[in-house]
């Protein structure tokens, strides 16, 4: 029997239809149990929610003597009128128990400037907490609950294994209404230029995060903490589906520092100044696109010099991990710690090569030799120290060859009222260049009520004249 071309076409379409139906049927699977019908995140929530806590912080802010108080006392003596003695300040956020002994991770901004911290567990038990470590540069703080043990804790996961599109849960206490769970996906990784902290390298998620969620957990589908919810992008104050979390890899660095008894996080020192690679720089270097970080200066005796890094080099990767700007470099470099070596992929003269950089903390050379500004001088309430790589790293300023830096500044002090800022580099007083805090102390006391002070603030140099 022979078929016409038309009939053959009809048969081919029919066979394709049957084959398509068969394929569609093989892709559909009938649920075989009630559990498959009722798929839920409840098991992960049960596993982790008990370790997510509420953090209450407060302080009674005693009013410090201001420059105006000093002025009034000159005319009225001890009977001078004064403002209110103090006021209560409060803060509310979330936290995560990461060790059964009572170690809690939260955001630094939740407890910043606070003196009393309490933590409420999901079962309504409350504990007072000591602040083991505050790290403003990552916005992470570590607390230790008093008289606590055998608590439910959640394990820190590997944020480096996250991929865009992974499902995550955000657990916290938004608006203080009680523990709340929201679900979303990882919207982006390695978000920088967000303006939240010094180490800008965030996980972005669309899980609903609102005020009070700060310090709460970002949980993956393994029931592990992959991030600490830190901030939201919002014009109204409510969630619009753009939230940011500090990756667990960086959280682990801060936690390990606290476990080791450190009061501060010690980071590796490169000994070089970096800047982003923009389009013009990329074109001049023969790069297809802006990537990496440009080395603009190298410290004479730092690890960068030892490794052979030079001005004009472009660092493309840290231990094989690409870097696109100074923020991503700082994040990748910090994760490597302060011991051993790390390979940097460097572009020089159109060729890539690898340099081994020694990992070490920034040195305290010269020693700080702090000098506290005395009363009846413009520096009252300020503490001056010698500048070193360690001091420059803490204050996030450039290392200078001369001058002393304001390392501490009391609120409402004379020094604050006349306009000094923490991190200001005091270069000269009354025309005398300063090489150490001893020089600064001598010049401050020698002036006789008149001070001509030269300041370097972020590269901008200016001189101010102050009198008693």
Q: Which of 374, 444, 375, 376 is nearest to 404 (CA)?
A: 444
299 is catalytic: no
Contacts 24+ apart (CB under 8 A), 427-431: 427/402, 427/403, 427/454, 427/455, 427/456, 427/461, 428/403, 428/453, 428/454, 429/453, 429/454
Q: Is 213 annotated as a binding residue?
A: yes
DSSP 274-310: EEE--HHHHHHHT-SS--SEEEEEE-TTSHHHHHT--
Q: Which is catalytic among the residues 109, 159, 248, 424? A: 109
Q: Which is catalytic among the residues 94, 214, 248, 249? A: 214
109 is catalytic: yes
What tokens were used for 46?
């049960």
DSSP 79-145: G-----SEEEEEEEEEEEEEETTTEEEEEHHHHTT-SEEEEE-TTS-EEEEEEEEEETTTTEEEEEE
With a CB cutoff of 8 Å and minimum separation 6, the contacts of 452 are 429, 430, 431, 463, 464, 465
Q: Is 214 annotated as a binding residue?
A: yes
217, 225 in Cβ contact below 8 A? yes
Annotated binding site for substrate: 109, 139, 212-214
Catalytic residues: 109, 139, 214
Q: Which residues are annotated as a binding site?
A: 109, 139, 212-214
């Amino acid at each position: 029997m022979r078929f016409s071309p038309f009939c053959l076409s009809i048969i081919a379409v029919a066979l394709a239809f049957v084959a398509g139906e068969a394929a569609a049927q093989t892709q559909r699977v009938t649920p075989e149990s009630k559990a498959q019908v009722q798929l839920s995140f409840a098991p992960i929530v049960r596993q982790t929610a008990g370790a997510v806590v509420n953090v209450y912080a407060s302080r009674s802010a005693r009013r410090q003597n201001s420059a105006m108080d000093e002025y009034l006392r000159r005319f009225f003596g001890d009977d001078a009128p004064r403002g209110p003695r103090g006021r209560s300040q409060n803060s509310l956020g979330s936290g995560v128990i990461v060790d059964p002994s009572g170690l809690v991770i939260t955001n630094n901004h939740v407890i910043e400037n606070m003196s009393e911290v309490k933590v409420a567990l999901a079962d309504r038990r409350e504990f007072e907490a000591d602040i083991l470590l505050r790290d403003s540069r990552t916005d992470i703080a570590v607390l230790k609950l008093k008289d606590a043990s055998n608590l439910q804790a959640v394990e820190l996961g590997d944020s480096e294994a996250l991929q865009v599109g992974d499902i995550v849960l955000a657990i916290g206490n938004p608006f203080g209404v009680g523990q709340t769970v929201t679900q979303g996906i990882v919207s982006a990784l390695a978000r920088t230029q967000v303006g939240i902290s010094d180490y800008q390298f965030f996980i972005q998620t669309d899980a609903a995060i609102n005020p009070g969620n700060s310090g709460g957990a970002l949980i993956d589908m393994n029931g592990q903490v992959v991030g600490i919810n830190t901030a939201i992008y919002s014009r109204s104050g409510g969630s619009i589906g753009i939230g940011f979390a500090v990756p667990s890899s960086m959280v682990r660095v801060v936690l390990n520092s606290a476990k080791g008894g450190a009061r501060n996080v010690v980071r590796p020192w490169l000994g070089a100044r970096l800047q982003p690679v923009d389009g013009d720089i990329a074109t001049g270097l023969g790069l297809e696109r802006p990537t990496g970080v440009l080395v603009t200066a190298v410290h004479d005796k730092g690890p960068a010099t030892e490794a052979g890094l030079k001005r004009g080099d472009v660092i493309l990767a840290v231990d094989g991990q690409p870097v696109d700007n100074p923020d991503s470099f700082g994040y990748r470099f910090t994760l490597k710690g302060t011991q051993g070596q790390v390979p940097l992929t460097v572009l020089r003269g159109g060729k890539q090569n690898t340099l081994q950089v020694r990992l070490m903390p920034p040195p305290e050379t010269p020693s700080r030799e702090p000098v506290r500004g005395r009363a009846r001088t413009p520096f009252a309430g300020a503490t001056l120290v010698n500048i070193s790589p360690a001091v420059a790293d803490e204050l996030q300023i450039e290392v200078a060859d001369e001058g002393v830096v304001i390392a501490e500044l009391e609120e409402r002090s004379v020094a604050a009222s006349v306009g000094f800022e923490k991190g200001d580099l005091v270069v000269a007083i009354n025309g005398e260049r300063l090489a150490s805090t001893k020089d600064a102390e001598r010049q401050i006391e020698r002036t006789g009520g008149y001070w001509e002070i030269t300041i370097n603030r972020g590269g901008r140099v200016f001189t101010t004249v102050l009198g008693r």
